[in-house]
Structure 1
Amino acid sequence: MIFRFSVLASGSTGNSLYIETEQHHLLIDCGLSGKKMIELLDQIDRKPEQIDGILITHEHSDHIKGLGVFARRFHTPVYANAKTWQAMADGIGEIPSEQKFEFAPNTIQDFGSLSIESFSVSHDAVDPMFYIIHDHGKQLALLTDLGYVSEHIKGLIQNSDAYIMEANHDTEMLMMGRYPWSVKRRILGDTGHISNDESGLALTEVLGNHTKKIYLAHLSRDNNMKELARMSVGQHLERVGLNLGQDIRLFDTDPEQATTLTAI
Structure 2
Amino acid sequence: MKSSIQSYTLNNGHMHILTSDHVYTYFPKHYHETYSMAMLYDGAKDFKLNNAQHILDNSNMATMNPCDIHYGNSVTDDGWKQLVIFFDEHAIKSFTEENQIKNKHFNFETMVSNDFQYRQDILTFCKSAINAESNLEVDHAYEQIIGRILAKEKHLSAEHKLNNCAGVKRSISLMHEVPDAKHRLNDLAKTANMSKFHYIRSFKDETGMTPHAYLNALRVERARKLLFSSPENLSDIAFDCGFADQAHLTRAYKKIYGMTPGSIIRK
Q: TM-score range by the shorter chain?
A: under 0.3
TM-score, structure 2 normalization: 0.24
Structure richer in helix, relative to its length: 2
TM-score, structure 1 normalization: 0.25
Structure richer in strand, relative to its length: 1
Larger Rg: 2
